[in-house]
Amino acid sequence: MPRSLNEDTGGRFRTFPIGAGCGGGRSDIKRQRLGRKLMEKIVRYCRSLGTRQIVGHFLCDNKRMFVLIRSLGFESKKVLDENIMEVVVDLQQPL
Give residue-wise pLDDT tens across range 60-82: 888 888 899 999 999 987 777 78
Domain edges within the chain: 52-95
Task: Give whichever of 2-16, 27-41, 70-84 has the largest mean pLDDT.
Answer: 70-84
- Bridge partners (DSSP) listed for residue 84: 59, 81
Query: What's the whole-model pTM score?
Result: 0.69
